[in-house]
Every structure is written in C-alpha cells, then in structure tokens.
C-alpha cells in the first residue's frame, strides 16, 4: 500500500487529481448547471402529465415530498428555474449560470421580452469578473 499524505490520499491519487484538465473540470461544471434544468423539466412533465399518480400519489406535492424529499416550495423552485431556462433558449444571451439566478427571473417567465430585457441589463451591470454571477431584480 502506498504512503498516504495528511489528506488521506496517496501521492498517486493527488497527482491524478492535479492532472485533470481544464476541459474535464469545465465539463463537470456544465453537467452541474444542466442538472437543475433537467430536474426541473422532469418534474414539470411529471406534474403536467400527472405521472405521479402512477406511483399512487394523489397530489404532485406529496409525490415530491415522499419520493424525493423536496418540499412543495423546493419542487416549484426547480420548475420555475427550468421554465426560465426554456424561455432563455430562444435568445442570443448567455443563460443564467445557476438555479438561484434563474429563480430570480421566474416572476418574468410569462413575459419573455421583459425577462430578456431584465437579464440583458443584469449582464450589462455585472462585474467584469466571470466568477461573479449577475443578480437580476425582476
């Protein structure tokens, strides 16, 4: 067995972690961003098609709570974020980078032109650092 470092990882494991390329790390981030959209879209379809009844639930909220451990509020946050992202697909603007930012735009999801204008303004006002996500105010 190889010698362990203070972190509990072997030197080989540390070298493997360091060798991960920027592309690999960015792919992980992209999958994470896509995940909240996929979850929201799946929940949206389950709700709209009432597929939760196939599992014996009368209400969507009960399905979310018992099957996934989501409160009603959390389930609808996913739905709102997914609906915002769907609206943003038809724009040439970069999408909101996180579910939280997408949720901030949710009150405008039924007003695509206004949503676009608010998001465009948030992007314009955003700090030059890409690490700082703009915070829209709907």
DSSP string, 56-76: T-SSHHHHIIIII---HHHHH
**Predicted confidence (pLDDT) per residue in 55-83, tens digit:** 999 999 999 999 989 899 999 999 999 89
What's the whole-model pTM score?
A: 0.65
What confidence category does residue 89 fall into, taking pLDDT thresholds of 50, 70 and 90? confident
Q: Which residue has the tokens 């949206």?
A: 44
Residue count of the chain: 138
**Predicted confidence (pLDDT) per residue in 5-46, tens digit:** 556 677 777 777 666 666 776 676 567 656 888 888 899 999
């Amino acid at each position: 067995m190889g010698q362990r470092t203070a972190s509990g990882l072997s030197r080989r494991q540390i070298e493997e972690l360091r060798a991960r390329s920027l592309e690999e790390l960015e792919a992980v981030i992209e999958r994470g961003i896509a995940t909240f959209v996929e979850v929201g879209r799946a929940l949206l379809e389950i709700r709209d098609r009432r597929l939760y009844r196939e599992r014996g639930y009368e209400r969507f909220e009960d399905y979310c709570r018992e099957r996934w451990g989501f409160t009603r509020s959390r389930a609808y946050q996913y739905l709102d974020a997914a609906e915002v992202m769907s609206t943003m697909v038809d724009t040439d603007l970069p999408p909101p980078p996180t579910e939280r930012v997408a949720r901030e735009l949710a009150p405008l999801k039924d007003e695509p032109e206004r949503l676009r204008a608010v998001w465009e303004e948030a992007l314009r006002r955003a700090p030059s650092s890409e690490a700082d996500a703009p915070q829209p105010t709907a």
